[in-house]
Amino acid sequence: MELPFAESYKIKMVEPIHRSTREQREQWIKEAHYNLFNLKSSQVFIDLLTDSGTGAMSDKQWSEMMIGDESYAGASSYFKMKGAIKKILGFEYFLPTHQGRAAENVLFSVLVKEGDIVPGNSHFDTTKGHIEYRKAKAVDCTIDEAFDTTLLHPFKGNLDLNKLEKVLSSNPTDKIPFIIITVTCNSSGGQPVSLENMKEVRKLADKYNKMVVIDAARFAENAYFIKKREKACENMSIKQIVLEMFATADATTMSSKKDAIVNMGGFIGMRDEDLFRKASVFNIMFEGFITYGGMSGRDMNALAQGLDEGTEFDFLETRVEQVAYLGKRLRDFGIPIQEPAGGHAIFVDAKRFLPNLPKEEFIAQTLGVELYIEAGVRGVEIGTLLADRDPNTRLNRYPELEFLRLAIPRRVYTNNHMEYVAIALGNVFERRNEIKKGFKILYEAPIMRHFTVELEKL
């Protein structure tokens, strides 16, 4: 018999989690005004709200924590992180920041000005936020295939080169500071970008004399998909693929809370000394001195170690195949999801799950609340609440796709937990015709409303 798949690590430390009753959960979610962000973590049994900063560090990462150097300037931890970024990503210059959005803030302070246009594949929400905050525009050039959840395409994160070239050729050249490639593409379902596509984007960038910036949060998962799905790369190691991916870019912003498997941290990688000097000014202003930039020495040590572990094939296979396993089990129940399964999460297609619920009643949010009540599993809405209102008309923006995202923390849950989640959602699917009413908004903030919104059952 072929040997079954098994995790590439064993467990050294555990944290208890607790089940609750349906009655308790109905009470708690009501008190939370049906906003999953308002729940206490103790009220959640399996927490799939996000994979950001929720991973389990390894024994080696914890031992690195003990030898962190907390010197203000010139700490050995800074040089350890610098060495790891040079070796694994290939960037000569780097600046530490407290997390990914801080890296965006610092780098975009140098590069983005009012009236600019930043084309890319679906921009992450904080990335878009930092572009729009500077009165610039993010233009989505993702391939159309990404928006059909039933379609099997190996690289749904790819940029459409025709769309991209149209943006580059039809705008004044001083209006486009760079092209951004997000790997994997979170907003389209944790979908990868092929190495071939990244190289083609580089060619276009050279033709129009533009910089390429990689938004790198899940670069290692992206490299895993390249190895598995791109014929030309099947014999390359993950670390070789990673170097080739970043060779297509001039700079990178990184949220280390994802593929570097730390609970907090980020950085900017750069090739150009002049850009590094300019960014250093903003780093000192917003984050901290250039040799710690909002991070503790111990955290820089753990990050350096995490970059190495996070780009090992065995770890990535365990990681991505666990997500795929959950996807397979949901498919067994007939539950509609974004196909193929993403690298860090399963995106449940809420419109196809609850076809009779009107979009005005927040379809994906309704599904998220039902899953929580069913089993104490917390996902997150990627739909109308997140899409927010049009800044001009103040009308709700109804996105093409309404997702309930189930994000899997790294090295935290077992496949038994995945089984529990699948059966829980399977139960909701079985009684989906009884779900006839959604929610209306009682309170919402003027921007980023999904975090603090308060809802009432219809």
Ligand X SMILES: *Cc1c(COP(=O)(O)O)cnc(C)c1O
Q: What residues are labeled active site?
A: 72, 124-125, 215, 217, 258, 450
CB-nearer residue toward ligand X: 204 or 260 = 260
Angle between helices 297-310 and 59-66 (to 10 degrees): 160
The reply to whether 365 sits near ligand X by the rule CB under 6 A is no
Smallest gap from Cβ 172 to ligand X, in A, equals 27
What sign does the dihedral 58-60-65-66 (CA atoms) show? positive
The reply to whether 255 sits near ligand X by the rule CB under 6 A is yes
Q: Using alpha carbons only, what angle is made at residue 316 by residues 226 and 417, rounded to the nearest 5 degrees?
A: 125
Residue ranges in 32-160 assigned as alpha helix (H): 59-66, 76-88, 100-111, 125-132
Smallest gap from Cβ 256 to ligand X, in A, equals 7
- Near ligand X by CB under 6 A, which window of 253-261, 334-342, 392-400, 439-447? 253-261
Binding-site member from 119, 192, 266, 310 for ligand X (CB under 6 A)? 266
The reply to whether 127 sits near ligand X by the rule CB under 6 A is yes
Smallest gap from Cβ 102 to ligand X, in A, equals 7
- Non-local (6+) Cβ contacts of 313 within 8 A are 224, 227, 237, 238
Binding-site member from 47, 64, 116, 215 for ligand X (CB under 6 A)? 215
The size of the interface with ligand X (CB under 6 A), counted in residues, is 15
Of residues 22 through 81, those in contact with ligand X by CB under 6 A are: 52
CB-nearer residue toward ligand X: 68 or 120 = 120
> What is d(CA 458, CA 451) in angstroms, rounded to the nearest whole number?
21
Structure tokens at 19: 């089940």
CB-nearer residue toward ligand X: 50 or 366 = 50
Angle between helices 100-111 and 273-286 (to 10 degrees): 120
117-120 and 137-140: which strand pairing? Answer: parallel
> What is d(CA 154, CA 225) in angstroms, rounded to the nearest whole number?
8
The reply to whether 182 sits near ligand X by the rule CB under 6 A is yes
Closest Cα to residue 210, out of 245, 170, 182, 176? 176
The reply to whether 186 sits near ligand X by the rule CB under 6 A is yes
Query: No. of H helices and E strands in the chain?
Result: 16, 14
Smallest gap from Cβ 16 to ligand X, in A, equals 27
Binding-site member from 100, 119, 157, 409 for ligand X (CB under 6 A)? 100
- Near ligand X by CB under 6 A, which window of 27-35, 122-130, 324-332, 441-449? 122-130
- Residues of this chain that interact with ligand X (CB under 6 A) are 52, 99-101, 124, 126-127, 182, 186, 215, 217, 255, 257-258, 266
